[in-house]
Structures are given as structure tokens and as C-alpha cells.
Amino acid sequence: MKSSVNMIMNQALELSASERSDLVEKLLTSLDEPDSAIDAIWAQEANARVEAFEKGELESKSAEEVFSKYRNR
């Protein structure tokens, strides 16, 4: 890491848990910027899945069936 990043990291580690949590949230939020190209790809995928389901080409499971698989772990 660059020395400036190390310095910021060391300063961040001196913050209280609450302050570090706020910092992490702000940093993660800064990475989550909309990307219209990715949004378009997801929209196309979602439409293709709905179309496949409506044509009977895609099986579905109830939410209860899906969640029960993970409750028993």
C-alpha cells in the first residue's frame, strides 16, 4: 500500500467502533454507483427469465421450499 493509504488506515483504526462502522458504510456506499450498462444487462436477463417461465421452459419453486432448504442447516 501507498504510505498515504497506510497513514489513513492507521488513523481509521484509532477511531471508535461506531466511527469505524460509519466510515466503512460511507466507503462502501461510494463504491456502489449506478452503472447503466450493468442495469441494462440485468433487465435483459430478468425479462428473459420471465419469458422462459411464462413459456413453461423454466421451473419454479415456492419460497417456502427454497427457505426450508436453508433453515435445516
pLDDT in tens, 1-36: 688 999 999 999 999 999 999 999 999 999 988 899
Whether residue 47 is predicted with pLDDT greater than 80 in this model: the reply is yes
Q: Would you say 15 and 23 are in contact if contact means Cβ atoms under 8 Å apart?
A: yes
Give the per-residue pLDDT at 69. Answer: 84
Whether residue 72 is predicted with pLDDT greater than 90 in this model: the reply is no
How far, in Å, CA of 54 to CA of 46, rounded?
A: 12
User: Which single residue is written with the C-alpha cell 466507503?
Assistant: 27
Residue 63 belongs to domain spanning: 3-71
Estimate the crossing angle of helix 3-13 against helix 17-31, to 10 degrees: 140
Q: How many domains is the chain partitioned into structurally?
A: 1
